[in-house]
Amino acid sequence: MTWPLCARSPNSHDGNGLDRLTLRTTFNMFAPTSRAPTLTVRFFRPSDVTTTTADFLATVPLFSGLDQIELQRFADLTREKFYPRGSVILFENDPGDSLFVVRQGRVKVVLIGEDGREVILGVLGVSEHFGELSLIDDRPRSAHVIAMEDSHLLVLRREDFRKRVESSPAVAWSLLTELSRRLRRADEKIGGLVLLDVPGRIARLLLDLADESGSPTIVKPLTHQTIAQMIGASRETVSRAMKDFQDANWVTVERRRITLSDRNALEQRAQARM
Q: Identify whether 163 is part of a domain.
A: no
Residues 140 and 88 placed together within one structural domain of the fold: yes
CA pair distance 123, 225, nearest whole angstrom: 13
Structural domain boundaries, residue 107: 2-52+77-157
Residues 221 and 114 placed together within one structural domain of the fold: no
Q: What is the pLDDT of residue 16?
A: 38
Q: What is the pLDDT of residue 162?
A: 85
Residues 85 and 209 placed together within one structural domain of the fold: no
Residues 209 and 142 placed together within one structural domain of the fold: no
Q: What is the pLDDT of residue 43?
A: 47
**pTM for the model:** 0.69
Q: pLDDT at residue 47 above 70?
A: no
Q: Which of 157, 180, 209 is the last residue of a domain?
A: 157
- Overall domain count for the chain: 2
Residues 31 and 146 placed together within one structural domain of the fold: yes
Q: pLDDT at residue 46 above 60?
A: no
Residues 146 and 200 placed together within one structural domain of the fold: no
Q: Identify whether 19 is part of a domain.
A: yes
Q: Region 152-158: what's the mean pLDDT?
A: 94
Q: Identify whether 179 is part of a domain.
A: no
Q: Identify whether 245 is part of a domain.
A: yes
Residues 39 and 94 placed together within one structural domain of the fold: yes
- Transcribe 115-178 into DSSP letters: TS-EEEEEEE-TT-EE-TTHHHH-PPPSSEEEESSSEEEEEEEHHHHHHHHHH-HHHHHHHHHH
The packing angle between helices 46-57 and 68-77, to 10°, is 140
CATH of the domain at 222: 1.10.10.10
Residues 149 and 218 placed together within one structural domain of the fold: no
Model confidence over 97-148: pLDDT tens digits? 899 999 999 999 999 888 888 889 889 999 999 988 877 787 889 899 999 9
Q: Which of 108, 134, 157 is the last residue of a domain?
A: 157
Q: Region 26-30: what's the mean pLDDT?
A: 40
Q: Identify whether 42 is part of a domain.
A: yes
Percent of the chain with pLDDT over 70: 80
Q: Identify whether 98 is part of a domain.
A: yes
Q: Identify whether 174 is part of a domain.
A: no
Residues 132 and 211 placed together within one structural domain of the fold: no
Residues 125 and 223 placed together within one structural domain of the fold: no
Contacts of 46 (CB under 8 A, 6+ apart): 76, 78, 79
Model confidence over 221-258: pLDDT tens digits? 889 999 999 998 999 999 999 999 999 999 999 887 89
Q: Identify whether 169 is part of a domain.
A: no
Residue 274: C-alpha distances to residues 63, 201, 206, 229, 244 (Å) = 42, 14, 21, 23, 21
Most confident option among 25-29, 38-42, 219-223, 267-271: 267-271
Q: What is the pLDDT of residue 204?
A: 92
